[in-house]
Amino acid sequence: PGSLLSISDLSLEDVASILESADELEAEPAIRRAERLFKRRVSLLFYESSTRTRTSFELAAKALGADTSLVSAQSSSIEKGESLKDTGITLRALGAECIILRSPFSGSPYLLAQETGLPVLNAGDGMHEHPSQALLDLRTILQRLEKNGKVSDKLLDGVTVTICGDIFHSRVARSNALLLPRLGARVLLCGPTPLLPETAAGMSHNVSIERDFDKALEQSQVVMMLRIQKERLAGLSVDLEQYTSRYQANAERIAAHAPKAVIMHPGPMIRGLEITSEVADGPQSGIEQQVKNGVAIRMALVLRAVGEAAKTGKGKGR
Tally of residues, the chain:
318
Q: How far is the CB of 19 from ligand CP (least distance, A)?
A: 19
Q: How far is the CB of 48 from ligand CP (least distance, A)?
A: 8
Segment near ligand CP (CB under 6 A), from 13-21, 204-212, 261-269, 281-289? Answer: 261-269
- Interacting residue with ligand CP among 191, 267, 286, 307 (CB under 6 A): 267
Q: How far is the CB of 174 from ligand CP (least distance, A)?
A: 13
Q: Which residue is nearest to ligand CP (CB)?
A: 53
**DSSP-derived secondary structure letter, 106:** T
Q: Does 116 bind ligand CP (CB under 6 A)?
A: no
Q: What residues form DSSP beta bridges with 189?
A: 163, 209
Segment near ligand CP (CB under 6 A), from 157-165, 180-188, 262-270, 277-285? Answer: 262-270
Give the C-alpha separation, 90 to 110, whole Å. 17
Q: Counting Cβ atoms within 10 Å, is residue 11 exposed (0-12), middle (13-18) or buried (19+)?
A: exposed
- Interacting residue with ligand CP among 117, 194, 268, 272 (CB under 6 A): 268
User: Is 52 one of the annotated binding-site residues?
Assistant: yes
User: Is 267 one of the annotated binding-site residues?
Assistant: yes
- Interacting residue with ligand CP among 51, 193, 277, 312 (CB under 6 A): 51
User: Is 102 one of the annotated binding-site residues?
Assistant: yes
User: Is 29 one of the annotated binding-site residues?
Assistant: no
E strands, the chain, in order: 41-46, 67-72, 98-103, 120-125, 160-164, 186-190, 207-209, 222-225, 262-264
H helix intervals, 145-286: 171-179, 213-218, 240-247, 251-257, 277-280
Give the C-alpha separation, 101 to 144, whole Å. 29
Cβ contacts of 227 within 8 Å, gap of 6 or more: 165, 166, 265, 266, 267, 268, 269, 270, 273, 274
User: Is 211 one of the annotated binding-site residues?
Assistant: no
Q: How far is the CB of 219 from ligand CP (least distance, A)?
A: 25
CB 314 within 8 A of CB 306: no
Residue ranges for the known binding site for carbamoyl phosphate are 52-53, 102, 130, 133, 267-268
Residue ranges for the known binding site for L-aspartate are 80, 171, 227
Q: Which residues bind ligand CP (CB under 6 A)?
A: 50-54, 124, 130, 133, 266-268
